[in-house]
């Protein structure tokens, strides 16, 4: 049996179902909302007669609302479910970005950015969780995909802002509104309906598979259905490792947003020029998230990598502070910083997900609340310092904040769990569906007679088969239980058969008529939801679906929805036994 490579093959990371790409597209458009403002900051300041400090409030209000909203988004998503939360967030972003484009006063735009930040908070609160839930690339691969979306959003945002901002500062706002509406349609059509109870069930069941059935587990199950409270993020902040990483993120964001929000004012370029600079920066953020972050983590460890990378960022910010009047040096430093920030963002996100607890959304809310406060303060503080003291001082202070972040994290390292050990246990023990699925699959057509299906079950000693069309694409799956429920639609099967053979001859005729039917007749009566797997889905995902929904078999599909394999309870059991014999029984315990 083959284990997944810890580096996560890029081909596996990017082989995703359509629903993941819909979330990915919406995430790119969402993060564009932050980057598109960058190129038009000087233009807004000039054309609306606003000071640099007033224009910096576009970032401050946006990030400030996101920070506060993170405290309530977890409760909202708990009540509404992933799909509705994503859709509401996307709609709010579209509305407030469009209204910003219709405004002619900087304070009106500042106010509208409050609503925009709320929409983005709702989206960000569940976007990563949604990608993890629906992705086939594993948890670490999902994080890489999410950070890629962040990087692309940061890169295409300035591009859109620069191109459209060269025509009018209003156009970038309209552009984001249109993109978010497209994202809304994609999510509405492609995202399956889901609720928070099912989401929590899946999380809880991954743990229950390695535990004995006991009263304690029963209590734990009841606990998992408990409604979330507004106090939950604060309780998590009380955990030292969460607060340490949150404060670290707070300090790091001072450096990040000093560079991101203040540098456009001192570049001395037009909207198109600023846009191109930050396109280069954003592209490197995306590329380093995918290609570099996993490699340097494997070589140096998560937090050692963060120390090394951020030390280089401190040097870059100091160089920008020394050579503020040298435009080529500023441009080079901004673009190169994309490599460093892409690595840090991915390393931090992955570490937070791994050690922050089982509830990813609450962990994200607590962590993001702390760090987004830094995102809100940094732009306004940097601009005030640059306007009132010296234009180079914001870069120096930003570098000092990042330096303090490194020292703070190092001094508090004892409070942070050994995240790399978690990675090793998790990644060494990952098995993909393609590693243990049955590849020689017996399939039937919808027109196959029920009698023939029963003979197939008996001859091959199986309990279910996938039903496919002429192109080998999945229609449904039929099990022996489905056939019994179709033939015997009463309370107890043995009672009906007794009445057929002993008392009611007419029911024998009914049974004869039904058994001469086809698989399509069973499908029409079958109301259960069809669950499928991709060959690059993980073993734990397959186990979660089977244990949660009590399925006997699950079809494995290619990217074109063609049936290429099947997973049954037998394969799950055999895989668990093999893993146990090889000392790999801790795979389920490593799931977060």
* Domain architecture of the chain: domains with CATH: 14-194+230-428 (1.20.1250.20), 433-489+508-590 (3.10.580.10)
Can you give the pLDDT at residue 421? Answer: 55
Phi-psi region of 357 (alpha: psi -120 to 50; beta: other; left: phi over 0): left
CA atoms within 13 A on the CB side of 50: 24
Can you give the pLDDT at residue 571? Answer: 63
Identify the bridge partners of residue 444 per DSSP, sorted by sequence position: 467
Give dist(CA 139, CA 255) in Å, integer: 28
Give dist(CA 464, CA 440) in Å, integer: 14
Task: Write the secondary structure of 492-551 as one string of H (helix), E (strand) and C (coil).
Answer: CHHHHHHHHHHHCHHHHHHHHHHHCCEHHHHHHHCCCCCCCEECCCEHHHHHHHHHHHCC
Q: What is the pLDDT along the chain (592 residues), one digit of tens a residue?
A: 333 344 445 555 566 677 777 888 888 877 776 677 767 777 777 878 888 888 888 888 888 888 888 888 777 877 777 788 888 888 998 899 889 888 888 899 888 988 888 888 888 777 777 776 666 555 566 666 777 777 777 777 777 777 777 777 788 888 888 888 888 888 888 777 654 334 444 444 444 344 334 334 444 444 444 456 677 777 777 778 788 888 998 999 888 888 888 888 888 888 788 888 888 888 888 788 878 888 888 888 888 889 999 999 999 999 999 999 999 999 999 999 989 988 888 888 777 766 655 556 677 778 888 888 888 898 889 999 998 899 999 999 999 999 999 999 999 887 776 666 544 444 445 567 777 788 888 888 888 888 888 888 888 878 788 888 888 888 888 888 888 877 775 544 445 554 544 455 456 666 667 777 888 888 887 767 777 887 767 766 777 777 666 677 788 887 667 888 888 766 666 655 555 444 444 444 333 3
CA atoms within 13 A on the CB side of 383: 25
Can you give the pLDDT at residue 577? Answer: 53
- Strand residues in 251-295 grouped as ranges (E): none
Can you give the pLDDT at residue 220? Answer: 40
- CB-based burial of residue 408 (10 Å sphere; 0-12 exposed, 13-18 middle, 19+ buried)? middle
Residue-by-residue DSSP string for 435-481: HHSB-S---EETT-BHHHHHHHHHHHT-SEEEEE-TTSBEEEEEEHH
User: 168, 156, 58, 165: which is closest to 106 by C-alpha?
Assistant: 58
Contact 583, 6 (CB under 8 A): no
SS3 5: coil
- E strand or H helix that includes residue 586: none
Q: State how beta strands 464-468 and 563-568 pair.
A: unpaired
Can you give the pLDDT at residue 333? Answer: 93
Can you give the pLDDT at residue 223? Answer: 41
The residue assigned the tokens 């020394």 is 322
Give dist(CA 58, CA 265) in Å, integer: 14
User: Taking the complete model, does pTM exceed 0.95, yes or no?
Assistant: no
Give dist(CA 279, CA 515) in Å, integer: 64
Can you give the pLDDT at residue 336? Answer: 93
């Amino acid at each position: 049996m083959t284990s997944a490579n810890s580096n996560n093959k890029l081909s596996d990371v990017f082989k995703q179902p359509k629903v993941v790409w819909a979330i990915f597209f919406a995430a790119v458009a969402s993060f564009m909302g932050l980057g598109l403002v960058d190129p038009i900051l000087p233009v807004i300041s000039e054309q609306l007669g606003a000071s640099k400090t007033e224009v910096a409030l576009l970032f401050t209000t946006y990030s400030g609302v996101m920070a506060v909203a993170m405290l309530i988004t977890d409760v909202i998503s708990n009540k509404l479910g992933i799909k509705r939360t994503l859709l509401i967030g996307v709609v709010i972003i579209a509305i407030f970005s469009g209204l910003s484009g219709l405004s002619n006063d900087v304070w009106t735009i500042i106010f509208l950015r409050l609503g925009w930040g709320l929409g983005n908070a709702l989206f960000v609160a569940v976007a990563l969780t949604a990608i993890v839930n629906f992705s086939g690339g594993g948890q670490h691969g999902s994080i890489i995909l999410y950070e890629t979306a962040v990087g692309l959003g940061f890169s295409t945002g300035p591009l859109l802002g620069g191109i459209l901002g060269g025509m009018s500062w209003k156009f970038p706002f309209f552009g984001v509104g249109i993109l978010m509406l497209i994202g809304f349609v994609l999510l509405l059509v492609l995202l399956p309906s889901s609720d928070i109870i099912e989401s929590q069930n899946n999380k809880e069941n991954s743990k229950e598979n390695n535990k004995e059935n006991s009263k304690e587990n029963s209590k734990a199950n009841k606990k998992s259905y408990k409604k979330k409270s507004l106090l939950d993020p604060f309780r998590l902040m009380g955990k030292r490792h969460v607060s340490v990483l949150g404060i670290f993120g707070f300090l790091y964001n001072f450096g990040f947003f000093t560079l991101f929000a203040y540098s456009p004012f001192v570049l001395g370029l037009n909207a198109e020029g600023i846009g191109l600079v930050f396109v280069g920066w954003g592209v490197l953020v995306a590329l380093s998230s995918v290609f570099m972050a996993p490699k340097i983590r494997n070589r140096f460890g998560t937090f050692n990598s963060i120390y090394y990378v951020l030390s280089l960022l401190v040097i870059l910010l100091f160089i920008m502070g020394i050579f503020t009047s040298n435009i080529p040096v500023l441009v080079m430093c901004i673009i190169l910083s994309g490599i460093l920030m892409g690595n840090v963002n991915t390393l931090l996100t992955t570490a937070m997900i791994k050690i922050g607890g089982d509830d990813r959304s609450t962990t994200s809310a607590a962590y993001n609340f702390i760090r987004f406060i830094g995102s809100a303060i940094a732009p306004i503080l940097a601009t005030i310092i640059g306007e009132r003291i010296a234009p180079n001082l914001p870069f120096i202070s930003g570098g000092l904040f990042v330096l303090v972040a490194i020292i703070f994290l190092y001094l508090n390292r004892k409070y942070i769990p050994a995240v790399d050990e978690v990675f090793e246990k998790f990644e060494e023990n990952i098995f993909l569906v393609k590693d243990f699925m049955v590849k020689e699959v017996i399939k039937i057509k919808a027109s196959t007679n029920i009698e023939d299906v029963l003979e197939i079950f008996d001859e091959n000693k199986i309990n279910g088969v996938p039903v496919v069309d002429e192109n080998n694409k999945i229609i449904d799956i039929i099990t022996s239980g489905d056939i019994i429920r179709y033939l015997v639609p009463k309370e107890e099967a043995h009672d009906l058969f007794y009445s057929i053979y002993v008392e009611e001859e007419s029911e024998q005729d009914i049974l004869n008529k039904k058994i001469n039917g086809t698989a399509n007749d069973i499908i029409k009566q079958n109301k259960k939801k069809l669950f499928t797997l991709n060959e690059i889905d993980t073993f734990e995902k397959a186990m979660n679906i089977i244990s949660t929904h009590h399925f006997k078999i699950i079809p494995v599909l290619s990217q074109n929805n063609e049936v290429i394999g099947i997973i049954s309870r037998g394969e799950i059991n055999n895989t668990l036994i093999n893993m146990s014999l090889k000392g790999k029984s801790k795979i389920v315990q490593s799931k977060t």
